[in-house]
Structures are given as structure tokens and as C-alpha cells.
Chain A
Amino acid sequence: MIFSFDLLFEAVLFGVLLGCFYAAVSIGLSVSFGLLDVPNVAHPAVMIVGSYFTYVLCSYGFDPIVAGVVLMPVFFVLGVLLYRFYYESFEKRGTEAGVRGLAFFFGIAFILEIALILGFGVDQRSVQAEYIGSSWELGEYRIPYRMLVAFGVALVLTASLTLYLSKTFTGRAIKAVAQDEPALRLMGANPVRIKQWAFGIATGVSALAGAMVIIIGPVEPAMDRIFIGRTFCVVVLAGLGSMTGTLGAGLILGISESIVLMFFGASWAPAVAFGLLLIVLGIRPQGLFGR
């Protein structure tokens, strides 16, 4: 093992950037699973669909980030429709909605994966931009621009969602529906419409997260599978429904993975994510930043 404080500093720096990327791809799930309690295992698959649509828009000259932003309203509408279908088919019918809902979202994930294969084939797809494949040189250090983009997007998404959930009426209603749905109903609000709106936001955010994924590296239809574990890990580690917590958990995961990758061997990296999760759940079952 080669150790120096320079390397340690770089490991932390790369970890912060990687952690922000993890937060960016998990924050939609933090809304749908963390706040709404919807077992949305199709979240990474929706995100990869976002990557492919970003690829399509980029072929018409769009910048990948702009493409991600353009796709957000489209995905918002798709999310609203998807939740409505889920609600009518499962949630409305009560008790076993959780388990059957899980099967439903697994099904959605498989359908999306197959649709991508049929539509685009199994070849990898990637996008080109000025900030992909080049780095910012700071003396001895080189920081990939694409990771800086993920860092920026994660910060903007976290800040926007935190402000939206705490400062707006609908945002506070979303938090309320997560805490006490019957009470919200007694106040005269319609929890289903609130949840539908929130699920739309979660899906809209996935489009931008998808753009991040294709900026970080090439995508292929089955790539959602490698994100399922990590995104759920970040959301649970954060404490269900905490936006700043999602960023914090992403950072913890990213920094620890980066240090392990740099000094102890890459094989241990996946064990870090789930090891941390087990420890945190043992000590603080509500997650690091949950109430």
C-alpha cells in the first residue's frame, strides 16, 4: 500500500465528487421511497431511460445537461401517470400493496430495459461535450470536469428540493403526507393528488440524474442493475426522506469508497457501502439524518 497525505487528500476530493454523483442519482428515490413509501425499484431503470433520451437529444446538438433539464417536465408527466396507475392497481386496494407494488416496479424496470434493447440495441451509448474526457489541472491534481458537473448538479438538486419541500405549500404537504396521511385528509387536502405530484417530481429528477449517468460514462440498457443497491443504500443510510441527508449519505459513501479504492483495494469497495449501511441501521435504525 502506497500512502501519502497528498494521495489521501486526492482520495477525499474524488470521494466528494463521487459522493455527489451518488446523491444526484439517489435523490429522486429519496422522494418516492423515502417520503412516499413507494417501493420504486424501477427508479434506476427510469434514470437509464433518461440517459437514452439525453443521448437522443444530444444527437440533435443539445448539451447533455440542457437535455436533462428539457426532459424533466416530460418525465414529470410520466411519473404522475405511473403513480396513478400504481395507486389504482395496488395502493388503493390496501394491505398487501407493498409486496405487490415491489413486483409491479420490478416489472416496470424489466419492461423499460427490454424497450431500450428493442429501441436502441445492446450497444453502449455515450455523449460528447467539452467537459467530458478532460480535466481541471490544479498543480499536481487533476479533477475530471464531468465529476465537477455531477457535483454541481447534486448541490443544485439538493438545495432546490430542500427549499421546495420546506418553503412551498405543496412541498410542506408532501412532507405531511409522508408523516401522517389521515391527518392531511382531515385537513381537507387530497393525499393521492399530493403523492401523485411528488412522484412526478421524483421521476422528473430522474431524467436529470440520467443525464448525469451518461455524462459520467457510457450507458447500456441493463445498467440500472448496478445502481439499485447503491441508490437504496444512500436513501436508507440518509434516513428516509431527508434531502440534505441524501447528499450527506452520498458523500459518506463516496469518500469511504474512494479511500478504500485508493489504499485498500477495489474489491472491498461494494462491501463498504453495505457494511456502512448495516452498522448505521444497527446503531441508528432511522438512518443518519432521519428523525
Chain B
Amino acid sequence: MKQSRRNALKAGAALAASTALPRFAIAQGGTVKIGMSMPQTGSLGAGGQAALLALRMWVDEVNVRGGLLGKRVEFIVYDDQTNPANTPGIYTKLLDVDKVDLLIAPYGTVPTAPIMPLVKERRKLLMGNFSFQVNAKVQHDMWFNNSPWNDATSWSDGFFRAGTKAGAKTTAILAADNDFAQSLANGARTLAKKGGIKVVYDQNYPPATTDFSSLIRAIRAAKPEMVFVMSYPNDSVAIIRAVNEIGLGSQVQVFGGGMVGLQFTPIMSSLGGLLNGVLNYNSYVPGMKYPGIEDFLKRYAARAKDAKVDPLGFYLPPFNYAIGQMLEQAVNGTNSIEDAKLAAYLKKTELRTVVGPIKFGKDGEWASARVVQAQFRGIADKDVEQFRSPNKQVVIYPDAYKTGEAITPFEKARKAK
């Protein structure tokens, strides 16, 4: 009995030692702290939670691989509630109290913009996260954005090309009253001016707008041939519904452009058939071929189910996972976690990610924009799985990923299968 107990203890100790060994090897070298705030509640909360899951996937996987420079990655995240007033305080805490080594920006333009001066002043590297033009004025030289757009026109370019190809000569511009939408609107105005397109309606709406019937009626009265909208998720749904109820007029060739939210699965499935015909921006849609993306999406889908977040995860998760991949390549490539060294590496290297190769320009945005403009077609109500099919969102732009031509006018596109 004594003998067997001793043997059992020995075996237990050996097992404990063997399972603890890899962790011990990492823990011996300390940790690399990566910190960020993420909108987990508020208007960007749904997207933020899906993005966060992808980042957590990378953290888990990199730790299994032995961490960064042999150190375990510790991931510190706070909820900024999609409130830009919260982010400067959170990032100050991350730097001064949590003493993080590396920073990732929160998802979205509005929460990111207020932290740019702080990050520049502290000379910290910041991995951008689907924000738009936040570095245009600050000019921080250690900023690297994961989003597939660069200047203000890159987002609307594909939309205006499709409209003008259909013969449109006038446009309406409707934009939310915030930094992100206003930057986009400026890009659309620039493109309209350059292309000789007359802007017949140009309005901003406040974030607390509850019903868009009057605005859609006013747009209809202006008789535009293109309707370019830049809106946040709640507004996008209300606008799509109001367009379905009030109508835009038979002269409208293309409608959509920069509506945030139409990339999120819960919103796509709740709008169902109302999405048909809408030509809107996206980052990735099924059918686009990148090495590793399908495997990533499979692994993501398994974890998304348990985490109760966006089950498809096409829009933000792959690009957030790519942030981790880029940091990992930079740390391994420089054998350092010093901000300046990592920034120098990120500037000169083409990085391999699940969203394809990424090469940064001087301003820290992508050297070549890759914003997709895709048209919804043949969408049925209450069917999430349909969105995995490549023919439900037909890529109109960019040409390298094109899977079809835009159907115009908008009324015809709504009925197309």
C-alpha cells in the first residue's frame, strides 16, 4: 500500500512537472503585455466583441507557440463603451498603471481619434483597428492601420465608379455627424467634384435620429442618381427600412456606399431581403482568396458560437487576427519589443496575414487600398447560412477581386436573383 502510494505520488509529480514545463519555460522569461480598449458595449459593441474574439484567438495561439521572445503574451482589454471620452483615460492607465509593452487601438474611428495625441507624445507604436483618417493630421510615425483603405477617397471610389458607369451625373450624400462619417463624406465630395458629379443633396444627421422617413423623403425630392450614405449600425438599419418604405425614386442607379453595420451577421440576417440591391463597402466577402482565411474562419466560427458573437465574422475578425500576426512577425523579425524597432520593421516589410499581404505606406495606412464594394443579391429572410455563399455579395470593385458587374438601376437590382 505504502509502495503504491509512493509510486502514485511519484507519477503525479512527474505528470505535474511534465505538464508545467512549457508554461514554466514561458513564465521564466516574464510576460509581454499587450493592451487596448475595445468597444464591447454601445453602438460598436457587437463588432467590437467579434474583433476581440479574433485577437484572443491569436493570443492563445501565440502562447501555445511559446509566446513572443519566449515570454507569455498577457492581453489587457477594457471596454470603452464606444465612448470617445473614455479612451484617453484607458490608454493612460494602460501605459502608466498596467505598463503595457505594445498597444492596439480600439475598433473604430470615433474611439481612436482622441488617443492619437497621447500615443504620439509617448512615442508608442499603435496598431490601428479599422479607423479612418485618424492619423491624417496627427502624423504619428509609428501608426499602422489594419484596415484595407487609405485616403478619404479610397472608401467611396468603387461606389462612384459603379454609379458613373451606369450614367449617373448627380448624387446625394447623407452622413452621420461624427469624425468618421465626415471624413468619408469629404472623400465622396472630392470624388464627386473630380468626376463632374453634381451634389444635389448634402446633409449630416445627428446620432440621436430615431426615424429617417423625413430625410429619405427629402433625398427623394432632390432626385439624385446616386445615394451615398455614411452611417453607423443602428442608423444603417433604420435608413434601409425607410428606403424600403418611402422609396428613393426610379432614377437612382446605386444606393449605399459607406454604411457600417451591413457587414455584421445579426444585422444582415435581420434585414434579410431589404438588403437586395444595396451596393456597400466591405473588407472581405466569401469568394475572395487569401491564404489561411478559410481555416481561420472555421476556427473562429467554432469559438464564436460559444462566445455568442457574430457567427460568420467576415468583416472585423480576420483583420484583427492580422494585427496579431503582424506584431508577431515584427517581434520575431527584430527580436525586440521596442516600439521604434518594430515600427521600422513594419514600415519596410510586406507582412503575410490571413487577409493577404499587407504593405504600409508612409502614413501607416495600406500602400494600396483594397476596399471592396459588393452588391447584395437574392437575399432571403431569416437565413444566416446564405451569407457564406459567394454569390450573395457580388464584388463589383476592386477589379482584382471582381465577381460580377453592378446591376443598375437600384430598383432593378432589388429584384435581381
Residues in A with CB closer than 8 Å to B274 are 133
Instruction: Select one of A7, A222, A258 contacting B41, CB under 8 A.
Output: A222
Chain A interface, >50% SS class: helix
Cβ A124 vs Cβ B246 within 8 A: no
Binds A, one of B59-67, B143-151, B235-243, B390-398: B235-243
Complex: A259 Cα to B203 Cα, angstroms: 14
Complex: A14 Cα to B244 Cα, angstroms: 16
What range describes how many residues of B lie at the interface? 35 or more
Instruction: Select one of B41, B213, B214 contacting A122, CB under 8 A.
Output: B41
Binds B, one of A67-75, A159-167, A213-221: A213-221
Residues in B with CB closer than 8 Å to A4 are 221
> Of all chain B residues, which has the CB nearest A266?
B205
Cβ B42 vs Cβ A222 within 8 A: yes
Decide: A122 near B45, CB < 8 A? Known: A2-B221, A265-B204, A267-B205. Answer: yes
Query: Is there a chain A Cβ closer than 8 Å to B222's Cβ?
Result: yes
Cβ A216 vs Cβ B211 within 8 A: yes
Query: Is there a chain B Cβ closer than 8 Å to A269's Cβ?
Result: yes
Cβ B43 vs Cβ A144 within 8 A: no
Cβ A266 vs Cβ B245 within 8 A: no
Decide: A142 near B246, CB < 8 A? Known: A18-B211, A265-B203. Answer: yes
> Of all chain B residues, which has the CB nearest A4?
B221
Query: Is there a chain A Cβ closer than 8 Å to B71's Cβ?
Result: no
Complex: A25 Cα to B308 Cα, angstroms: 31
Query: Is there a chain A Cβ closer than 8 Å to B87's Cβ?
Result: no
Q: Of residues 198 to 222 in B, which have CB atoms within 8 Å of A's CB atoms? A: 203-211, 213-215, 217-218, 221-222
Cβ A124 vs Cβ B213 within 8 A: no
Query: Is there a chain A Cβ closer than 8 Å to B234's Cβ?
Result: yes
Residues in A with CB closer than 8 Å to B218 are 2, 7, 261-263
Decide: A21 near B204, CB < 8 A? Known: A2-B222, A117-B41, A142-B247. Answer: no
CB<8 Å pairs between A and B, sample of 17 = A2-B218, A2-B222, A7-B218, A117-B45, A123-B46, A124-B233, A132-B241, A134-B244, A142-B245, A216-B211, A217-B241, A220-B46, A265-B203, A266-B204, A266-B206, A267-B177, A267-B204
Mark A residues whose CB is within 8 Å of B: 2, 4, 7, 10-11, 14-15, 17-18, 21, 117, 121-126, 128, 132-135, 142, 144-147, 216-218, 220-223, 226, 229-230, 257-258, 261-263, 265-267, 269-270
**Given A133-B241, A144-B245, 7 more pairs with CB closer than 8 A:** A2-B222, A7-B221, A121-B46, A123-B266, A218-B270, A266-B205, A267-B205
Mark B residues whose CB is within 8 Å of A: 40-43, 45-46, 48-49, 81, 177, 203-211, 213-215, 217-218, 221-222, 233-234, 237-238, 241-242, 244-247, 264, 266-267, 270, 274, 308-310, 381-382
